[in-house]
Chain A
Amino acid sequence: MSANVAAPSRPTTDEQTPVLEIEELHVTFRSRRRDVRAVRGVSLKVQRGEVLGIVGESGCGKSTTALAVTRLLPTTAEIVATRIRVAGVDLTSPSVRDLTKIRGAKVGMIFQDPTSSLNPSMTIGDQIAEPLRLHAGLGRAEAARAAAELLGRVGIADAQQRVGDYPHQLSGGQRQRVMIAIAVACTPDLILADEATTALDVTVQAEILDLLRGLQRDTGTALVFVSHDLGVVGDFADRVAVMYAGQIVELRDVRDLLSRPRHPYTAALLECAPRIGTARRLPTPILGGPPDLGRPVVGCAFRARCARVVERCATDDPGPELERIGAACWNPVSSVSQGSAS
């Protein structure tokens, strides 16, 4: 960690202001046939040095939420929010200049597939050096030196020799390390990782998670870790947001959420994920499927699959309960006397 690689603007926020603040985020994918409301009113805050996990099944809006922060969604996506702030910069209705200033500098991004996210015709050294030259104003030689150092820091052996390699010369795990090196190059305030280890073998996944955790702890960067895998998220998130049908249904401290889930969906998700254990048993599925977000959702979106459904679920949106008890539910699983959101 000797690498004091180009970090002129590190603590841009004081300890009190969250690094990431999202209030009432709505994302609608518009098409001629119909509008799909992929994210329906998401609010969250991430503090400096904190790891927030976002989990859910495909189509729940977890990736869309993360990508909406840096506006990396297709043009058919309409993003509306009361507030989006990253490291003190207001991104609620950002200009192109705001975004270029933020992306790669204050927000680093890691995606699932490093093969298609890296430029195949640029050496990995140049790709790591690019943000350093653009945002940190380093010269060519300086940036190249810093890139080699970063490559070593993300655990690539013989970094000095490998900077001239192209992505196709690396294994999947090594490519993901390069992505991480690019993401952390400018010591960002926030890293958004979208299914960063999903395409990797478990052994490589374990290495990449260790690397991310180490970098995150060393630099105090806030990390938003989006994944479908509760096992991965449970390993190192401080808080976990569980999403279903475009909403956060539970948002609590990781230990509380895993040991005593409040939302029936979280509880069911924990039951249906196979895990290695002493008792060999088949996981319990959640019957049915999520609702069609192309149609308006009235009441609780999970009620058709829920065993704890009460009369109110059909009419009233349980969304406001999230703030109060950490779960958007009218009939939560563990008994809650006096609620306190985490």
Chain B
Amino acid sequence: MTAEVPTSQEQEPPVVSVSDLAVWFPRRSGPLLRRTGWNQAVEGVSFSIQRGRTLALVGESGSGKSTTGLSIVRIQKPTRGSISLLGRDISNLEGRELRRIRRHMQLIFQDPTGSLNPRRTVTQVLDEVLRACGLRGEAVAARRAQLLAQVGLDSHHWSKYPHELSGGQRQRVGIARALATSPELVVCDEPVSSLDVSIQAQIMQLLARLQSELGVAYLFVSHDLAVVQALAHEVAVMHRGRLMEIGSVDEVFERPSHPYTAALLAAVPRGNPDLSRSERIVLRSEASSAEPATGCPFRTRCWAYLALDRPDDCEQIAPPAVVQPAAHEPSSAACHHAAEVTVMAVDELAPLRSDPPVRK
């Protein structure tokens, strides 16, 4: 699934395109819970995903990656910005029109237990969706059988309730349900995070195979960089609601240009007692949580800001906006010193790419 898409396809309109997306939640306090400000969960996020491709959203908890995913499928109403699905602006659709467009975009959740009705069997779960799509009679059974075969669920599981299935099997049901409407876009919100590694690998293989068979585009929300590297084509790194860096997985993982991306990569456990963690590339504590009003909002946590001896532009000028690069182009980062960061990061992160420890 890592094969490059031919250039002819890149002329097609993207499956989904997001421009200047913002989601703000009111911050309330005091006895009357008056609105005292806004919590900018997502602020100024733009990207697009082509057919058959996967864009991963990564970041720490609270970075706004899930909120971005939910607002794209319009479960969360965006505060500002536009969302286009197959070239059509859906950011202001309501009611019936919204329901109609929803079949083109589906969700897979982290916890398949919580997202399946415990009183419905696998068959009932799928049939409900298929009937809602307008299928009747024989067609329902035929499509159901096709879907369950696609996700690798044997027929003796069809009459079972969610609690009778294993975690991996439940996630297969969740995937079958998402694919029932033949969507062009599936937002996967931490789809393998709660699974054991042996099962996780099964579901990752399944998602990759379904994408190559059906050409579906994935927006893959995950905190796990190793999973993202194996499954995604492009990656967007979020911090406190803003995009820090965006680019192809190969570029971002091998030549990160934002200090935050480098810090995330540096924090991944190496699984090797002989490799010590980078002492230089570490995020500063969240304690200094107040974001400065001018300059780069990330600099209070930034290691490069210190390494470069507090440059003036970091303090005075807002960082450049990120622009999604074309395939094979270097990634784009919201950093004045991206080039210097890349040099430092490549140097420090080299051991990350080594293989398991060599026997002494």
Contact = CB atoms under 8 A, between A and B. Distances in A.
B191 to A, nearest CB: 13
Nearest to A289: B166
What are the 4 closest A-B residue pairs judged by CB atoms, nearest first? Answer: A285-B201, A234-B271, A231-B269, A286-B198
A210 B277 CA distance: 9
A283 B353 contact: no
A228 B196 contact: yes
Interface string A195-216: 0000001111111011000000
26 contacts: A57-B197, A157-B285, A173-B286, A202-B225, A203-B264, A204-B60, A206-B267, A231-B269, A234-B271, A234-B272, A235-B275, A256-B359, A258-B356, A276-B225, A276-B226, A276-B253, A276-B268, A276-B352, A276-B353, A277-B229, A278-B353, A282-B204, A283-B200, A283-B201, A285-B205, A286-B198
Interface size class of B (residues with CB under 8 A): 35 or more
Contacts, number: 146
B359 to A, nearest CB: 4
A82 B210 CA distance: 51
Contact of B270 (A57, A171, A210, A235): A235
A11 B76 CA distance: 58
A140 interface: no
A231 B226 CA distance: 11
Contacts of A278: 254, 353
B357 interface: yes
A280 B229 contact: yes
Given A274-B227, A284-B201, 10 more contacts: A201-B60, A205-B269, A207-B282, A233-B271, A235-B273, A258-B271, A274-B200, A280-B229, A282-B204, A283-B200
B268 A231 contact: yes
Interface stretch (A104-112, A131-139, A265-273): A265-273
B202 interface: yes
A37 to B, nearest CB: 19
Interface residues of A, number: 50
Interface centre among B205, B269, B273, B352 (most CB of A within 10 A): B269
B201 A272 contact: yes
Contact of A255 (B224, B230, B357): B357
A238 to B, nearest CB: 8
A236 interface: yes
B268 A274 contact: no
B274 interface: yes
A205 B61 CA distance: 12
A153 B166 CA distance: 43
A117 to B, nearest CB: 19
Nearest to A273: B197
A278 B223 CA distance: 20
Contacts of A236: 273
B353 A260 contact: no
A285 B152 CA distance: 14
A2 interface: no
B360 to A, nearest CB: 6
Contact of A229 (B249, B269, B272): B269
Contact of B357 (A204, A259, A272, A273): A259
Interface in B207-245: 208, 223-227, 229-231
A289 B202 CA distance: 11
A95 B60 CA distance: 45
Nearest to A255: B357
B271 A285 contact: no
